[in-house]
Chain A
Amino acid sequence: MELENQADELRARGYGIAVISYDTQDATAQFSEQNDISFPLLSDVGSETIRRFGILNPVPEWAFGDNIDDPDVQTDIATYVSVFNPAEMMIGIAFPGTFMLDTTGRVSSRYFENSYIERNTVSSIVIRLGEAQVPVRATQVSMPQLELTSYASEPTIAPGNRFAVMLDIEPNDGMHIYAPGSTDYRIVGLQVESDAPLIVLPMSYPASTDYYFEPFDETMPVYEEAFELVQELILDGSPQAQQALRGQESITVNGTFEYQACSAEICYPPAALELSWTVPLRALVFR
Protein backbone atom coordinates (compact mmCIF):
# COMPACT_ATOMS: atom_id res chain seq x y z
CA MET A 1 0.00 0.00 0.00
CA GLU A 2 1.74 3.13 -1.24
CA LEU A 3 -0.08 5.17 1.39
CA GLU A 4 2.24 3.73 4.03
CA ASN A 5 5.12 5.67 2.47
CA GLN A 6 3.25 8.92 2.94
CA ALA A 7 1.63 8.15 6.28
CA ASP A 8 4.39 9.67 8.42
CA GLU A 9 4.42 12.82 6.38
CA LEU A 10 0.64 13.10 6.48
CA ARG A 11 0.67 12.83 10.26
CA ALA A 12 3.56 15.29 10.51
CA ARG A 13 1.37 17.76 8.58
CA GLY A 14 -1.42 17.29 11.08
CA TYR A 15 -3.68 14.85 9.24
CA GLY A 16 -4.99 11.59 10.59
CA ILE A 17 -5.38 8.60 8.27
CA ALA A 18 -7.75 5.68 8.21
CA VAL A 19 -8.58 3.10 5.58
CA ILE A 20 -11.96 1.37 5.42
CA SER A 21 -12.71 -1.90 3.65
CA TYR A 22 -15.26 -4.67 4.02
CA ASP A 23 -12.50 -7.08 5.15
CA THR A 24 -12.61 -9.01 8.40
CA GLN A 25 -10.28 -8.08 11.20
CA ASP A 26 -8.33 -11.29 10.53
CA ALA A 27 -7.72 -10.13 6.97
CA THR A 28 -6.68 -6.60 7.96
CA ALA A 29 -4.44 -7.96 10.73
CA GLN A 30 -2.69 -10.25 8.28
CA PHE A 31 -2.31 -7.53 5.65
CA SER A 32 -1.06 -5.09 8.26
CA GLU A 33 1.57 -7.49 9.51
CA GLN A 34 2.76 -8.46 6.04
CA ASN A 35 3.02 -4.86 4.90
CA ASP A 36 4.04 -3.21 8.14
CA ILE A 37 1.06 -0.84 8.19
CA SER A 38 1.16 1.92 10.80
CA PHE A 39 -2.32 3.40 10.39
CA PRO A 40 -5.74 1.95 11.20
CA LEU A 41 -7.24 -0.45 8.67
CA LEU A 42 -10.89 -0.44 9.65
CA SER A 43 -13.08 -3.51 9.16
CA ASP A 44 -16.57 -2.79 7.93
CA VAL A 45 -17.82 -6.36 7.91
CA GLY A 46 -21.30 -6.38 6.40
CA SER A 47 -20.51 -3.04 4.70
CA GLU A 48 -22.85 -1.04 6.94
CA THR A 49 -20.58 2.04 7.00
CA ILE A 50 -19.84 1.74 3.27
CA ARG A 51 -23.62 1.73 2.69
CA ARG A 52 -24.17 4.65 5.04
CA PHE A 53 -21.58 6.62 3.05
CA GLY A 54 -23.52 5.73 -0.09
CA ILE A 55 -20.52 4.24 -1.87
CA LEU A 56 -21.35 0.55 -1.85
CA ASN A 57 -20.57 -0.98 -5.22
CA PRO A 58 -23.80 -2.79 -6.17
CA VAL A 59 -22.40 -4.34 -9.32
CA PRO A 60 -20.99 -7.59 -7.84
CA GLU A 61 -24.49 -8.40 -6.66
CA TRP A 62 -25.81 -7.93 -10.19
CA ALA A 63 -23.28 -10.48 -11.38
CA PHE A 64 -25.20 -13.07 -9.38
CA GLY A 65 -28.66 -11.66 -10.07
CA ASP A 66 -31.30 -12.43 -12.66
CA ASN A 67 -30.02 -9.80 -15.10
CA ILE A 68 -26.63 -11.29 -15.79
CA ASP A 69 -27.47 -11.40 -19.50
CA ASP A 70 -28.37 -7.69 -19.63
CA PRO A 71 -25.62 -6.07 -21.74
CA ASP A 72 -25.59 -3.04 -19.44
CA VAL A 73 -24.96 -5.29 -16.46
CA GLN A 74 -22.18 -7.00 -18.39
CA THR A 75 -20.61 -3.62 -19.15
CA ASP A 76 -20.82 -2.54 -15.53
CA ILE A 77 -19.24 -5.77 -14.35
CA ALA A 78 -16.29 -5.23 -16.66
CA THR A 79 -16.14 -1.56 -15.68
CA TYR A 80 -16.53 -1.60 -11.94
CA VAL A 81 -15.81 -5.11 -10.73
CA SER A 82 -13.55 -7.32 -12.73
CA VAL A 83 -12.66 -7.99 -16.31
CA PHE A 84 -12.21 -11.58 -15.21
CA ASN A 85 -14.86 -13.59 -13.46
CA PRO A 86 -16.53 -11.70 -10.67
CA ALA A 87 -16.57 -13.67 -7.44
CA GLU A 88 -19.39 -13.80 -4.94
CA MET A 89 -17.01 -12.65 -2.21
CA MET A 90 -16.82 -9.26 -3.93
CA ILE A 91 -20.38 -8.44 -2.83
CA GLY A 92 -20.10 -5.61 -0.32
CA ILE A 93 -17.05 -3.82 -1.71
CA ALA A 94 -16.87 -0.04 -1.80
CA PHE A 95 -16.12 2.12 -4.80
CA PRO A 96 -12.48 2.98 -4.09
CA GLY A 97 -11.96 6.62 -3.19
CA THR A 98 -10.42 9.14 -0.84
CA PHE A 99 -12.06 11.87 1.22
CA MET A 100 -10.05 14.74 2.67
CA LEU A 101 -11.87 15.89 5.79
CA ASP A 102 -11.52 18.98 7.93
CA THR A 103 -11.55 18.54 11.70
CA THR A 104 -15.36 18.66 11.82
CA GLY A 105 -15.66 15.80 9.34
CA ARG A 106 -16.62 18.03 6.43
CA VAL A 107 -15.33 16.99 2.98
CA SER A 108 -12.76 19.49 1.67
CA SER A 109 -11.95 17.49 -1.47
CA ARG A 110 -12.63 13.99 -2.79
CA TYR A 111 -10.90 11.65 -5.20
CA PHE A 112 -12.53 8.65 -6.87
CA GLU A 113 -11.75 6.16 -9.56
CA ASN A 114 -14.01 5.53 -12.47
CA SER A 115 -14.17 3.70 -15.76
CA TYR A 116 -12.94 0.46 -17.14
CA ILE A 117 -9.96 2.11 -18.76
CA GLU A 118 -8.05 2.65 -15.58
CA ARG A 119 -7.86 -1.05 -14.97
CA ASN A 120 -5.21 -0.72 -17.66
CA THR A 121 -4.31 2.92 -17.36
CA VAL A 122 -3.41 3.78 -13.81
CA SER A 123 -4.28 7.36 -13.04
CA SER A 124 -3.14 9.13 -9.95
CA ILE A 125 -3.42 12.55 -8.50
CA VAL A 126 -1.10 14.15 -5.99
CA ILE A 127 -2.76 15.77 -3.00
CA ARG A 128 -0.57 18.56 -1.67
CA LEU A 129 -0.73 19.24 2.03
CA GLY A 130 1.81 21.95 2.65
CA GLU A 131 5.05 20.32 1.54
CA ALA A 132 3.68 16.82 1.80
CA GLN A 133 2.66 15.09 -1.41
CA VAL A 134 0.31 12.17 -1.26
CA PRO A 135 -0.48 10.33 -4.48
CA VAL A 136 -3.91 8.74 -4.63
CA ARG A 137 -5.34 6.59 -7.38
CA ALA A 138 -8.14 8.56 -8.91
CA THR A 139 -9.64 9.73 -12.15
CA GLN A 140 -12.34 11.86 -10.62
CA VAL A 141 -11.61 14.79 -8.33
CA SER A 142 -14.04 17.10 -6.58
CA MET A 143 -12.60 20.43 -5.48
CA PRO A 144 -14.48 23.43 -4.03
CA GLN A 145 -14.41 25.20 -7.43
CA LEU A 146 -14.65 22.37 -9.96
CA GLU A 147 -15.03 18.70 -10.79
CA LEU A 148 -12.25 17.13 -12.82
CA THR A 149 -12.24 13.78 -14.57
CA SER A 150 -8.99 12.75 -16.20
CA TYR A 151 -8.11 9.73 -18.24
CA ALA A 152 -5.95 8.49 -21.10
CA SER A 153 -7.68 7.92 -24.43
CA GLU A 154 -6.13 4.49 -25.05
CA PRO A 155 -5.77 1.43 -22.81
CA THR A 156 -2.43 0.55 -24.43
CA ILE A 157 -0.08 2.30 -26.81
CA ALA A 158 2.87 1.44 -29.08
CA PRO A 159 5.73 3.55 -30.46
CA GLY A 160 4.49 5.84 -33.21
CA ASN A 161 0.97 5.93 -31.77
CA ARG A 162 -0.92 9.11 -31.24
CA PHE A 163 -2.98 9.21 -28.05
CA ALA A 164 -4.36 11.81 -25.70
CA VAL A 165 -4.85 12.58 -22.07
CA MET A 166 -8.26 14.09 -21.54
CA LEU A 167 -9.43 16.49 -18.86
CA ASP A 168 -13.17 16.85 -18.43
CA ILE A 169 -13.76 19.91 -16.27
CA GLU A 170 -17.02 21.08 -14.79
CA PRO A 171 -16.94 24.41 -12.96
CA ASN A 172 -19.15 24.39 -9.87
CA ASP A 173 -22.26 26.59 -9.91
CA GLY A 174 -21.39 30.24 -10.31
CA MET A 175 -17.70 29.55 -10.97
CA HIS A 176 -15.78 30.45 -14.08
CA ILE A 177 -12.35 29.27 -15.14
CA TYR A 178 -10.03 31.46 -17.16
CA ALA A 179 -9.56 30.50 -20.81
CA PRO A 180 -6.77 31.35 -23.27
CA GLY A 181 -6.74 35.06 -24.03
CA SER A 182 -7.24 36.09 -20.41
CA THR A 183 -4.74 38.45 -18.94
CA ASP A 184 -3.78 38.76 -15.26
CA TYR A 185 -5.33 35.36 -14.49
CA ARG A 186 -3.88 31.85 -14.68
CA ILE A 187 -5.13 30.25 -17.88
CA VAL A 188 -6.34 26.69 -17.57
CA GLY A 189 -3.86 24.20 -19.01
CA LEU A 190 -1.68 21.16 -18.58
CA GLN A 191 2.10 21.14 -18.40
CA VAL A 192 3.24 17.70 -19.55
CA GLU A 193 6.43 16.06 -18.39
CA SER A 194 7.58 12.55 -19.06
CA ASP A 195 10.73 10.47 -19.10
CA ALA A 196 9.28 8.67 -22.11
CA PRO A 197 10.06 9.91 -25.64
CA LEU A 198 6.85 11.87 -26.09
CA ILE A 199 6.00 14.51 -28.62
CA VAL A 200 3.61 16.95 -26.97
CA LEU A 201 1.15 18.52 -29.41
CA PRO A 202 -0.55 21.84 -28.73
CA MET A 203 -3.45 21.62 -26.29
CA SER A 204 -6.81 21.79 -27.99
CA TYR A 205 -9.17 24.22 -26.28
CA PRO A 206 -12.92 24.46 -26.88
CA ALA A 207 -14.57 27.83 -27.53
CA SER A 208 -14.85 30.05 -24.46
CA THR A 209 -17.39 32.68 -23.52
CA ASP A 210 -16.83 36.30 -22.48
CA TYR A 211 -17.35 37.14 -18.85
CA TYR A 212 -17.92 40.72 -17.77
CA PHE A 213 -16.77 41.55 -14.26
CA GLU A 214 -18.30 44.85 -13.28
CA PRO A 215 -16.11 45.89 -10.31
CA PHE A 216 -13.03 45.90 -12.56
CA ASP A 217 -14.96 46.80 -15.72
CA GLU A 218 -13.16 43.97 -17.48
CA THR A 219 -14.20 41.26 -19.93
CA MET A 220 -12.27 38.00 -20.00
CA PRO A 221 -12.69 34.73 -21.92
CA VAL A 222 -13.76 32.01 -19.49
CA TYR A 223 -15.41 28.63 -19.20
CA GLU A 224 -18.59 28.63 -17.14
CA GLU A 225 -19.99 25.30 -18.32
CA ALA A 226 -18.46 21.84 -18.56
CA PHE A 227 -15.63 21.65 -21.08
CA GLU A 228 -13.02 19.19 -22.23
CA LEU A 229 -9.32 19.74 -22.77
CA VAL A 230 -7.58 17.27 -25.07
CA GLN A 231 -3.82 17.01 -24.81
CA GLU A 232 -2.62 14.97 -27.76
CA LEU A 233 0.67 13.15 -27.49
CA ILE A 234 2.72 10.97 -29.82
CA LEU A 235 4.96 8.25 -28.51
CA ASP A 236 8.08 8.68 -30.61
CA GLY A 237 8.41 5.78 -33.05
CA SER A 238 12.00 6.43 -34.13
CA PRO A 239 14.47 3.52 -33.81
CA GLN A 240 16.33 5.41 -31.07
CA ALA A 241 13.12 5.97 -29.13
CA GLN A 242 12.11 2.32 -29.52
CA GLN A 243 15.52 1.32 -28.24
CA ALA A 244 15.01 3.55 -25.19
CA LEU A 245 11.65 1.87 -24.53
CA ARG A 246 13.02 -1.66 -24.78
CA GLY A 247 12.22 -3.68 -21.68
CA GLN A 248 9.62 -1.22 -20.41
CA GLU A 249 6.10 -2.39 -19.80
CA SER A 250 4.48 1.00 -19.56
CA ILE A 251 5.11 4.70 -19.84
CA THR A 252 4.12 7.34 -17.35
CA VAL A 253 2.89 10.74 -18.41
CA ASN A 254 3.05 13.38 -15.70
CA GLY A 255 1.20 16.62 -15.98
CA THR A 256 0.47 19.64 -13.86
CA PHE A 257 -3.08 20.85 -14.31
CA GLU A 258 -3.24 24.56 -13.64
CA TYR A 259 -6.27 26.77 -13.39
CA GLN A 260 -7.76 29.78 -11.73
CA ALA A 261 -11.41 29.86 -10.72
CA CYS A 262 -13.50 32.80 -9.59
CA SER A 263 -17.14 33.53 -8.93
CA ALA A 264 -18.85 36.91 -8.97
CA GLU A 265 -17.91 37.26 -5.28
CA ILE A 266 -14.69 35.33 -4.70
CA CYS A 267 -11.56 35.00 -6.77
CA TYR A 268 -9.46 32.02 -5.75
CA PRO A 269 -5.68 32.08 -6.20
CA PRO A 270 -4.17 30.07 -9.07
CA ALA A 271 -4.20 26.36 -8.26
CA ALA A 272 -2.37 23.31 -9.52
CA LEU A 273 -3.02 19.58 -9.35
CA GLU A 274 -0.40 17.03 -10.24
CA LEU A 275 -1.74 14.22 -12.36
CA SER A 276 -0.17 11.11 -13.78
CA TRP A 277 -1.27 8.42 -16.19
CA THR A 278 0.50 5.10 -16.58
CA VAL A 279 -0.27 3.52 -19.94
CA PRO A 280 0.87 -0.05 -20.78
CA LEU A 281 3.02 -0.49 -23.87
CA ARG A 282 1.97 -2.98 -26.54
CA ALA A 283 4.60 -5.41 -27.75
CA LEU A 284 7.28 -3.46 -29.52
CA VAL A 285 8.28 -4.27 -33.07
CA PHE A 286 11.97 -3.69 -33.61
CA ARG A 287 13.24 -2.91 -37.04
Chain B
Amino acid sequence: MLKKNMKSITFNPWKVAVTAATAVLLAGTATAQDLEPSQIDVAELGPQVGEIVPDFSLPDQNGEIWTRESIMGPRGAMLVFVRSADW
Protein backbone atom coordinates (compact mmCIF):
# COMPACT_ATOMS: atom_id res chain seq x y z
CA MET B 1 0.00 0.00 0.00
CA LEU B 2 2.68 2.44 1.01
CA LYS B 3 4.84 1.47 -1.94
CA LYS B 4 2.02 1.83 -4.39
CA ASN B 5 1.11 5.18 -2.98
CA MET B 6 4.68 6.42 -3.17
CA LYS B 7 4.86 5.46 -6.79
CA SER B 8 1.85 7.53 -7.60
CA ILE B 9 3.26 10.58 -5.84
CA THR B 10 6.69 10.42 -7.48
CA PHE B 11 4.98 11.44 -10.71
CA ASN B 12 4.65 14.97 -9.45
CA PRO B 13 4.91 14.81 -5.69
CA TRP B 14 5.02 18.51 -5.03
CA LYS B 15 1.81 19.31 -6.82
CA VAL B 16 0.06 16.33 -5.29
CA ALA B 17 1.16 17.28 -1.80
CA VAL B 18 -0.04 20.84 -2.28
CA THR B 19 -3.30 20.23 -4.08
CA ALA B 20 -4.54 17.13 -2.27
CA ALA B 21 -6.00 19.34 0.42
CA THR B 22 -9.31 17.54 0.40
CA ALA B 23 -8.67 15.35 3.41
CA VAL B 24 -11.47 14.72 5.83
CA LEU B 25 -10.69 15.06 9.51
CA LEU B 26 -11.27 11.68 11.05
CA ALA B 27 -11.48 10.88 14.72
CA GLY B 28 -8.12 10.36 16.34
CA THR B 29 -6.01 12.49 14.02
CA ALA B 30 -6.10 15.75 15.97
CA THR B 31 -2.77 16.61 17.55
CA ALA B 32 -1.18 19.55 19.27
CA GLN B 33 -0.61 21.04 15.84
CA ASP B 34 -4.22 20.52 14.75
CA LEU B 35 -3.11 19.54 11.31
CA GLU B 36 -5.01 17.29 9.00
CA PRO B 37 -3.51 14.78 6.62
CA SER B 38 -2.22 16.35 3.40
CA GLN B 39 -2.90 19.88 4.57
CA ILE B 40 0.59 20.53 5.82
CA ASP B 41 2.19 23.72 4.59
CA VAL B 42 5.41 24.25 6.50
CA ALA B 43 5.54 27.88 5.35
CA GLU B 44 2.58 28.59 7.61
CA LEU B 45 3.82 26.76 10.68
CA GLY B 46 5.53 28.51 13.53
CA PRO B 47 6.59 32.14 14.04
CA GLN B 48 6.55 34.17 10.81
CA VAL B 49 8.89 36.94 9.64
CA GLY B 50 8.43 39.91 11.98
CA GLU B 51 7.04 37.83 14.86
CA ILE B 52 8.87 37.18 18.12
CA VAL B 53 9.59 33.53 18.79
CA PRO B 54 8.52 31.93 22.09
CA ASP B 55 11.01 31.92 24.93
CA PHE B 56 12.47 28.62 26.05
CA SER B 57 14.74 27.15 28.68
CA LEU B 58 16.56 24.01 27.56
CA PRO B 59 19.72 22.13 28.56
CA ASP B 60 22.58 21.68 26.09
CA GLN B 61 24.88 18.66 25.71
CA ASN B 62 26.83 19.76 28.82
CA GLY B 63 23.81 20.46 31.00
CA GLU B 64 24.02 24.23 30.64
CA ILE B 65 20.60 25.91 30.37
CA TRP B 66 19.98 28.25 27.42
CA THR B 67 17.14 30.68 26.74
CA ARG B 68 16.06 32.89 23.85
CA GLU B 69 18.06 35.69 25.38
CA SER B 70 21.22 33.75 26.21
CA ILE B 71 21.73 32.31 22.71
CA MET B 72 21.94 35.84 21.28
CA GLY B 73 25.09 37.28 19.80
CA PRO B 74 25.49 41.05 19.46
CA ARG B 75 23.56 40.97 16.14
CA GLY B 76 21.12 38.13 16.74
CA ALA B 77 21.06 34.38 16.46
CA MET B 78 20.47 31.45 14.19
CA LEU B 79 18.04 29.00 15.75
CA VAL B 80 17.97 25.65 13.97
CA PHE B 81 15.42 22.88 14.51
CA VAL B 82 16.51 19.41 13.46
CA ARG B 83 14.60 16.14 13.51
CA SER B 84 17.21 14.37 15.59
CA ALA B 85 20.93 14.31 16.18
CA ASP B 86 20.61 10.63 16.99
CA TRP B 87 19.34 9.03 13.78
Contacts and interface: CB of A to CB of B under 8 A. Distances in A.
Q: Do the two shown chains form a genuine complex with each other?
A: yes
A117 B78 contact: no
Contacts, number: 276
B73 A95 contact: no
**Which bracket fits the contact residues of A?**
35 or more
Interface residues of B, number: 65
A50 B81 contact: yes
Contacts of B76: 14-16, 100-103, 108
A54 interface: yes
Interface in B1-53: 1-2, 5-6, 9-10, 13-14, 16-17, 20, 23, 26-29, 31-33, 35, 37-38, 40-43, 45-53
B71 A74 contact: no
Contacts of A184: none
A49 B77 contact: no
A115 B32 contact: no
A224 to B, nearest CB: 19
A71 interface: yes
A274 B41 CA distance: 23
B75 A115 contact: no
Contact of A99 (B10, B29, B53, B66): B53
Q: Interface residues of B: mostly helix, strand, loop or mixed?
A: loop
Interface in A114-130: 114-117, 127, 129
B58 A23 contact: no
A95 B75 CA distance: 26
A112 B84 contact: no
B78 A75 contact: no
Given A25-B63, A58-B35, A98 B49 contact: no
Contacts of A28: 60-61, 85
A6 to B, nearest CB: 9
Contacts of A69: 1
Given A53-B81, A75-B5, A75-B9, A108 B42 contact: no
Interface of B: 1-2, 5-6, 9-10, 13-14, 16-17, 20, 23, 26-29, 31-33, 35, 37-38, 40-43, 45-56, 58-64, 66, 68-69, 71-87
